[in-house]
Chains A and B, each alone.
Chain A
Amino acid sequence: MFAKLDQIFILLRDWVVSFLPANWQGIAGVVLSVVAIIAVFPALFAIAVLLERKGLGRMQNRLGPNRVGPFGLLQPVADGIKSLTKEDVVPTNADHVVHFLAPVVLVTVVFMGYAVLPMGRNMTLARMDAGLLFYFAMGASSELTIFMAGWSSRNKYSLLGAMRGVAQMISYEVPLLMSSVAVVMITGSLDLDKIVEAQNQYSWGLPHWYIFTPWGLAGFVMYAIAATAETNRSPFDLPEGESELVAGYFTEYSGFKFAEFFLGEYVGMLSISGLGTTLFLGGWSSPLEVLNWVPSWIWFFGKVMMSICMFIWMRGTLPRIRQDQLMNFAWKFVLPMTLLNLVVAAIWRFMGDGLLRWVVCSAILVLMYAGVGLTGMRRKHFGPRSYRYAE
């Protein structure tokens, strides 16, 4: 029975498609899956927005929105109606074609990334041999849309925000890819389904998730940092710095276009959390062998929502990082650590199974981290600051 529940969406799709003639069944199946994705993930976006506002409120000793609907659960509906009915103001000097295309292309490209995520057993929309590469290709395309948005507004501050945003996204794309390459190296394939299947094994009831290995933990931490920077999330949200640049690169957008940018950001956040759970947290596999009967898609979406909660937690805790500190961090700390992580993953692979490889790999990573921490913190002067004023 639980096996059927696990495959319920596949069975549903096959049942609906069976009403059509045979040549149309393939296309109809794909279209149905696409419609399902386009319906589910904006709903998750609404839940994520609500979770963020209420969660941030609780962390800041206040209630979140609680007037619309019981406990404020209908707040996303109110937000949606508001953004649909607001006047769409476009500056006269703006480049109208590019200004219109930027949010459209962003939303398109961000939704394409969902095609390769395995959301459950047999539930990948497009099973490709180079699935991970496709995902990163789509992620890279979304950077151009931010530039388009900032430049087409003909607004100095939007352009500044866009340049910062693009610089940040490019800098953190390399650690993002590098931390995933370690996973690819161990699994031996770019296919996301194979990566999940490799993690779906259990020893003594505990799973073989990559996060439970030393290089996997380090890789996951760096992937999380890079993912936070890729989606312009706090503490890396300087491009949309609300206190500095009004709204950064989407200052000149109002009404539904602004909602599309918002949607793009959150859907991108969900997408990159989905990839992170696939690569490091075992995708749709359950944490304990005894819990295998729970449907796989419940595990996947549960892990994605846990990652969203981590994002919200970080947003509520950390102050914004300055642009130069951000770039320094990317190129001088995270990138070398990801390269080191690759070496450690290779060492892990070529030592045999056993306790020795755990000890060696953990030792290397901890020593390097502590070493960098000690030298890095020593060079900064944490004493009282001295100022030089203009004469």
Chain B
Amino acid sequence: MLGEGILKGLAATAKNFAGSFVSKERLTTVEYPEQRIPTVEAARVFPFLVYDGDDWQAGLRCVACQICEKECPPKCIFIEKSKDKKPDFTGRPQIYPARFDIDISVCMSCQICVEVCPFDAIRMNTEFELSTDDRFEGLLLHKDQLAHSNEYYREIHSTEAAEVDARRADELAKAEAKAKAAAEAAAAKAAAAAQTTAAPKTDGGAA
């Protein structure tokens, strides 16, 4: 019948109108900034540096190997190595970055720096409300602005963090086992050395 399509269209719009007051699926607006859409776990915006423990300077995982600086396509990471060393989570002394800057006006969120880091030190953050009125200094993030704790990392990417933590725990266990074995071997060697130094007194006539 002529005009039937118009009536069906009017009915659909009326259903939308009435439904927008009662059901959520007919009013999909999320009123930013009072309401937020919950971020997906795999979301990524700009990188951040992970630190273990409470002290961000002592627990910073980054050893300033500069692999991420070399691999970054738009070259937005700027690293300067330190002169002294500090111990890492396995106890070995490592150098640390004296300056670690990321220019987020250049960064294209490709995640290559995350993929190549051998120390799980740099990961992707999900914070996007980084607007500032300072075009240059405000968009150059320094080490202190980039450092976030491992607990924060666990909050934003839980499965990744669980995997990293498991791997690091394994490494720590292996390193500790190796250290214990080394300590035991050293203790055994020391005991053997002590025994050989003590043994010639009693063993001089028999040998």
- Count chain A CB atoms within 10 A of each CB in B2, B14, B21 and give the residue with the most: B2
Residue of A nearest to B15 (CB): A59
Complex contact B10–A58 (CB within 8 A): no
Complex interface: chain B residues within 8 A of A36 (CB):
none
Judge whether B26 and A318 touch: CB under 8 Å.
no
Partner of B2 from A55, A61, A63, A369 at Cβ < 8 Å? A369
- Closest Cβ of chain A: how far from B14's Cβ, in Å? 7
Q: Do residues B2 and A317 form an inter-chain contact, with CB atoms below 8 A?
A: no
**Interchain CB contact under 8 A, B9 and A61:** no
Interface of chain B, helix or strand or loop or mixed? helix
A313 interface residue, CB < 8 Å from B? yes
In the complex, whether A4 has a CB less than 8 A from a CB of chain B is no
CB of A81 within 8 A of chain B?
A: no
| B12, CB-defined interface residue at 8 Å | yes
Q: What CA separation (Å) do A59 and B15 show in the bound complex? A: 8
| Residues B9 and A60 in contact, CB atoms below 8 Å apart | no
Name the residue on A nearest B16 (C-beta): A59
- Say yes or no for A373: interface residue by CB 8 A criterion: yes
Contact A61 to B27, CB < 8 A, known contacts A316-B13, A370-B1: yes
Pairwise interchain contact B10-A313, C-beta atoms closer than 8 A: yes
Interface Cβ pair total, 8 Å cutoff = 47
Known: A55-B17, A370-B1. A318 touches B27 (CB 8 A): no
Interface centre among A60, A317, A318, A376 (most CB of B within 10 A): A317
The 8 Å CB contact of A318, one of B1, B6, B31, is: B6
State which residues 48-74 of A face B: CB under 8 Å.
Answer: 55, 58-63, 66
Which residues of B in the span 31-53 have a Cβ within 8 Å of any Cβ on A? 31
Does A58 lie within 8 Å of B14, measured CB to CB? Answer: no
Chain A residues with CB below 8 A from B28, complex form: 61-62
How far is B10's CA from A376's CA once the two chains are assembled, in angstroms?
Answer: 22
A367 sits at the interface (CB 8 A):
no
> Cα distance A94–B20 when bound, in Å?
46
Collect the chain B residues with CB atoms within 8 Å of residue A62's CB.
Answer: 27-29
Total chain B interface residues with beta-carbon distance under 8 A: 18
Contacts of B1 in A (CB 8 A): 370, 373
Q: Chain B: which residue is nearest A371 at the CB level? A: B2
Contact assessment for A317 and B31 in the assembled complex, using a CB-CB cutoff below 8 Å: no
Residues of chain B with a CB closer than 8 A to A59's CB = 13, 16-17, 20
Contact with B along A310-321 (1 / 0, CB 8 A): 000110111000
Chain A residues with CB under 8 Å of B3's CB are: 373
Contact at B27–A373, with CB atoms within 8 Å? no
A58:B20 contact, CB within 8 angstroms: yes
Which residues of B have CB within 8 Å of A60?
16
Q: Which residues of B contact A317 (CB under 8 A)?
A: 6, 9-10, 12-13
Q: Collect the chain B residues with CB atoms within 8 Å of residue A288's CB.
A: none
Q: Which of A80-101 contact B (CB under 8 A)?
A: none
Are A63 and B27 in contact, with the CB atoms below 8 A? yes
Is A27 close to B, CB under 8 A?
no
A180 to B12, CA, bound (A): 31
- Whether a CB of chain B sits under 8 angstroms from the CB of A372 is yes
The answer for the CA separation of A199 and B27 in the assembled complex, in Å, is 42
Determine whether A377 belongs to the interface, using a CB cutoff of 8 Å to chain B. Answer: yes
Determine how close the nearest CB of chain A comes to the CB of B157; give it in whole angstroms.
32
Which residues in window 303-327 of A have CB below 8 A to B?
A: 313-314, 316-318
A372 touches B26 (CB 8 A): no
Q: Are B13 and A313 in contact (CB under 8 A)?
A: yes
A377 touches B2 (CB 8 A): yes
Instruction: Please report the C-alpha to C-alpha distance between residue A55 and residue B2 in the assembled complex, in whole angstroms.
Output: 27
Complex contacts, A55 vs chain B, CB 8 Å: 17
Given A58-B27, A317-B10, verify A373-B2 contact (CB < 8 Å): yes
CB-CB nearest in chain A for B26? A61
Query: Is A63's CB under 8 angstroms from B16's CB?
Result: no
Q: Most chain-B Cβ atoms within 10 A of its Cβ — which of A58, A316, A372, A377? A: A58
Given A318-B6, A369-B2, also A58-B17 (CB < 8 A): yes
**When chains A and B are docked, how far (Å) is the Cα of A205 from the Cα of B17?**
32
Beyond A316-B13, A318-B9, is A376–B27 a contact (Cβ under 8 Å)?
no
Q: How far is the CB of A333 from the nearest CB of chain B, in Å? A: 9
Q: 5 closest pairs, A vs B, by CB?
A: A373-B2, A58-B20, A317-B13, A317-B9, A59-B13
Task: Using CB atoms and an 8 Å cutoff, list the residues of chain A in contact with chain B.
Answer: 55, 58-63, 66, 313-314, 316-318, 369-370, 372-373, 376-377
7 A-B pairs whose Cβ atoms sit less than 8 Å apart in the complex = A58-B16, A61-B29, A62-B27, A63-B31, A314-B10, A317-B9, A369-B2
With A370-B2, A373-B3 already in contact, 10 other A-B pairs whose C-beta atoms are closer than 8 Å: A58-B21, A59-B13, A61-B26, A62-B28, A63-B31, A317-B12, A318-B6, A318-B9, A369-B2, A373-B2
